[in-house]
Structure 1
């Protein structure tokens, strides 16, 4: 699911996602496609779920984001980049 679709479907929510497709460009890491795993009103609960998933499957790229974000991009310094998917 593209981020625009996530934002429409889950307005003003915290979502825990698996990254399905991503790319790097000019020092930024862009998440192009995600699978939404869960949605929450509370960031602390979303973060807890993120850590649970990460412990269960450490090689899978997960993230938790608020849908008020217009785009899903991070500085590569802060992203775990494994290359384009």
Structure 2
């Protein structure tokens, strides 16, 4: 499903979804296709579901966003750790 379809089907909702088609470009993750996992009125409930899914299946590309967002261009933030010794 494309983001425009999601926005039409679930207006003014928080959605938890898996990115099924995405690519990186200039420091952003551009998501083209998604599979909706769940939808919520409350951002805290959506975040809890996201955390649960991410913890149980860390290899999947899971997000939660509000459908008022116009596009799925998500800034990539990398956190790295340097090990000494």
TM-score (norm 2): 0.86
- Taking the aligned partners of 2:76 and 2:62, their CA distance within structure 1 comes to 15
What are structure 2's unaligned runs of at least 5 residues? 79-85
User: 1:4 corresponds to which residue?
Assistant: 4
Counterpart mapping for 1:32-51 below 5 A? 32-51=32-51
Matches within 5 A, 1:11-26: 11-26=11-26
1:75 is displaced (CA, Å) by 2.0
Instruction: Output the TM-score relative to the length of structure 1.
Output: 0.86
State which structure, 1 or 2, has the greater radius of gyration over its C-alpha atoms. 2
CA distance in 2, matches of 1:26, 1:51: 26
Runs of 4 or more above 3 Å deviation: none
1:36-58 CA distance string (max 9 Å, x none): 00000000000000011111111
Q: CA RMSD in A?
A: 1.1
Where does structure 1 lack aligned partners over 5 or more consecutive residues? 79-85
Secondary structure of the 2:7 match is helix
Instruction: Using the TM superposition, name which of 52-61 and 4-13 deviates more.
Output: 52-61
